Amino acid sequence: MSMDSQYSMTGQILNIILVVGALIVAPLLGGFLSGVDRVLTARFQGRKGPPVWQPFYDFLKLLGKERIATSKMQLIWMYAYLMLMVTSLLFLLLRQDMLLIVFILGFAGVCLALGGFSTKSPFSHFGANRELLQMLAYEPILLLLAIAMFVNNGTFMVWRIFEKDVPPLLISMWPIFIAFLIIITIKLRKSPFDFATSHHAHQELVKGLTTEYSGPFYALFQLAEWYELVLLLGIVTLFWAHPIWIGIVIALVVFLLEIVIDNISARMTVGWMLKLTWALGLFLCISNIAYLYFKRGVF
């Protein structure tokens, strides 16, 4: 979308309708994908698994449960987490400043961790601390992704990526794409990075930072996770923005890859995660950005 049509009246209205629609569709898509995840994971493990729609059944069931909590602040941070996750998806759909999207996503992560801290529970503190360490691992890579987009496109605005004269990012930014794959695994809290909380109970962690959430409040967390999944896959599609269907195919392949990785790897330690992302991830990103600068020649 070019600058002019973005600011025209009809363009604006169309945009808003599109965005509102997308915000409604996103959790449905996210829930469906996590259903697919559960089915595939079951097949990997030689089980039949639940129906694809199981996440939605679970969600509805959780909503109907009794409201119990351990503190009020805990609930407020969970609302904030959901709100900010939606906001950051909204900003992505509006093709806004990538750096800002990363910062808002970071704020969402902080809210989740603070929710874990807001109650005197050892397990949720455990998870919250680990969530913060995960942020320490992925935040730099996400920021560098935004910076690389800037160097490549000349702007932080996402809508530039969708213009005809910008070649697909994957061609010149494949090292960052690899680093981003690691980040997605961390963000989705899948093995080998299921430290903060996970879909299966772990002995020392119980349910990590979601231990003290239950019923409707836990449903909020589920909802936010679905938004997050769509957001992350949305960022993947940016790597091949036109024709967009190639980007979507790449995103789906990435999603399947994440499921495979989840099933074939064991949990590692937080220290290992930091080493991996800071050594390999930062190396990939920084050398990629240096290459992009050289390719551009002048600043």
Partner 1 sequence: MSHDMMMAIAILLPVVAAILVYLIPDYRTRGGLVILTAVILILNSLAQLRQGPFNYTPAGTGWGEAIKWIDFLMLFFFIYAAVARRSLLILIFTLTQLFPLLYWEFVLRAHVEVEPAFMVDHLSIVMTLIISIIGSLICVFGVKYITDHEHHLNRQKSRQSTFHFWMIIFLGAMNGLVFANNLYWLYFFWEVTTLCSYMLIGHDLTKEALANATRAYWMNSIGGTTFVFAIIYLYANGGSEALSLQKLIAGGHSAEIILLPLALLCFTGFTKAAQMPFQSWLLGAMVAPTPVSALLHSSTMVKAGVYLVVRLAPAFSPSNLGQLGTLFGELVALCGSFTFLGASLLAISQTTGKRVLAYSTIANLGLIIACAGINTPLSIAAAILLIIFHAISKAMLFLSAGTIEHIIWSREIDDMEALAEKAPLTTLITGIGILSMFLPPFGMLLSKWMAIEAATSVSNAAMSNRFLAPFLIAMLVIIAGLFVVASAATVVFWSKWLGRLLEVVPRIERRYEKVSPGYFVPLWILLVGIFAFGLLISPVYHNFVQLAVNNASQGIANVSSQVLTDGGFVTIESVRSFPGAPYSAGIMPLGFYPVWILFVLLAMALAVPFFIVSVKQKELRPVYLCGENCGDVDTECYMTAAEQKTKMTIGGLYLQKLFGEAALNPTMNLIAISLLIIFIGIILGVTLR
Lay out the site mask for partner 1 across 6-45 (x = CB under 8 A, - = otherwise).
----------------------------------------
Positions in 64-93 near partner 1 (CB under 8 A): 67-73, 75-76, 79-80, 83-84, 87
Evaluate whether 75 touches 94 at the Cβ level (below 8 Å).
no
**Which listed range, 12-20, 128-136, 169-177, 226-234, lies at the site for partner 1 (CB under 8 A)?**
128-136
CA distance 82 to 4: 33
Residue 224 or 259: the one with the smaller Cβ distance to partner 1 is: 224
Residue 282 interacts with partner 1 (CB under 8 A): yes or no: yes
Residue 46 or 204: the one with the smaller Cβ distance to partner 1 is: 204
Positions in 146-165 near partner 1 (CB under 8 A): 147, 150-151, 154-157, 160, 163, 165
Nearest approach, Cβ of 97 to partner 1 (angstroms)? 5
* Interface with partner 1 (CB under 8 A), residue from 42, 120, 245, 279: 120
* Interface with partner 1 (CB under 8 A), residue from 46, 64, 122, 243: 122
Residue 268 interacts with partner 1 (CB under 8 A): yes or no: no
* Interface with partner 1 (CB under 8 A), residue from 36, 139, 162, 265: 139
Burial of 273 (0-12, 13-18, 19+ CB in 10 A): buried
At residue 298, the 3 state secondary structure works out as coil
- List own/partner pairs for 12-21 with CB under 8 A and 24 or more apart: 15/94, 18/93, 19/90, 19/93, 19/94
* Interface with partner 1 (CB under 8 A), residue from 46, 64, 243, 271: 271
- Token pair 């409040």 is found at 217
